[in-house]
Structure 1
Amino acid sequence: MNLYAVLAIYNFEMARTRRTLMRSIISPVISTSLYFVVFGAAVGSRIPEISGVPYGAFIAPGLIMLSLLTQSVSNASFGIYFPRFTGTIYELLSAPISYLEITIGYVGAAATKSIILGLIMLATASLFVPLRIEHPFWMLIFLVLTAFTFSLLGFIIGIWADGFEKLQLVPLVVITPLTFLGGSFYSTDVLSPFWKTVTLFNPVVYLISGFRWSFYSIADVNVGISVVMTIVFLSVFLIIIGWIFKTGYRLKH
């Protein structure tokens, strides 16, 4: 393992975050705070509790997960797309560094930024709603696994995209709708049996359900299934990245 190369990529990406602090951290925190104000005050006044949890506190894990997913994808996709756009990716591919080390550097930096953002948002949420974390260990596990999993997805998108517009396509058209429909603002128990079954085909449901369980011990899906599904997503994205580097898809042509 060429740790010097991995750290060079990692430190470069983390330095970019410091240069774009407003877009990387402050903007998502402000946006999520507005969600708490709007949904917590407006909707929360009509829905006092869900499963014994105040509505504002109930939606907190979903809002944190929403930002975590979108930021993980955005950070990783831009991180690998920019070297492709400028042409410096060819210098990286010709350097004495393996594909695994390249992936670790970029994905590790993107996941680190997302985890930091998630913890900041957790602290911010505690200012608005009465949060409690009954399983802090599992909360961190879901936070870390989700950040790395969707950073891998962002890495794939950054290689696939051939323009800046496509970098925003998947987060806006796919990730955000799936998160909104994945139980961020409601429990799937309120749905009819048919729609509840349909919801189970939404992968984000398992992430939000497991993350919310770590806070309040309530879940729409068994927490064991949530962990397994998260690991499955992680494995699938790793396989796809392995295929990309093996074939040189969008990298060597």
Structure 2
Amino acid sequence: MLIGFIGSGKIAQALIKGFLTAGITRVESILASAPKDDFKNHTKTRDIGCRTTYFNPEVVKHSEILILAVKPPLVESVLAEIKPLVTPKHLMISIAAGITLQTMERALPPEARVVRVMSNTPVLIRQGATVFALGQNASKPDGDLVKKLYESVGICDQIPENLIDAVTALSGSGPAYTYMTMEALADAGVREGIPRELSYNLVAQTLIGAARMVLETGKHPAGLKDDVCSPAGCTINAMYHLEKHGFRSMLMDAVQLATKVSKSNSQ
């Protein structure tokens, strides 16, 4: 499986490591591009064992699967550069935020097979949450391949493209909501006398454990919450305080706002 990365930043490097660890391809079958002055990413990608190049067209010539991993403002110029070389044999997978399937398909040959992916930063530790939408020429086998690739760095599901902005707001932005929650809980622990390092460790492990309980038990989060709330206990009183101050609706409003912004930034 010949895979080419146009752009070799942190996310591209994480994907490469995931693909190699999962045995999806061999290191010699991967080629990644970056600008000449991007010494850092050239070096880090080569340290993984991959070849790199300064030239995007060289990546297209080398590859069957193309992963477009550049910043959104660069997408238009990059697609114009590689368009003459893109053929029906290529599967183009874009991880550029806000760039629609229609935008990419208009910029490429009419028969181009395009997939739009939305992931999040935990792909860096192979715990990502990823969704993808198929373009008009992409097939079910193409979708199956994308799923296989991204399951090497977390979970992956197919969705209609009109849900990508909501997913961007939920799981794409979700780590930031979680980090803020962690910071607040850890500060609360420090306020009550717990040493800061221990407080952060307790909070992080609590969130990991709670998340795995949802995933592994299949039980509704509300039921798991009820299991912790003893009659007249400290937890139910804390739940009452959170409900009274709109904790749940505040999170829902935040996701709604982020979805709106994501839609306005799509092109």
Q: Which has the higher strand share?
A: 2
Please say which structure displays the higher CA radius of gyration: 2
TM tier, smaller: under 0.3
TM-score (norm 2): 0.27
TM-score with structure 1 length normalisation?
Answer: 0.28
Q: Identify which of structures 1 and 2 has the higher relative contact order when contacts are C-alpha pairs closer than 8 Å and 6+ apart.
A: 1
Task: Looking at secondary structure, tell me which structure has more helix per residue.
Answer: 1
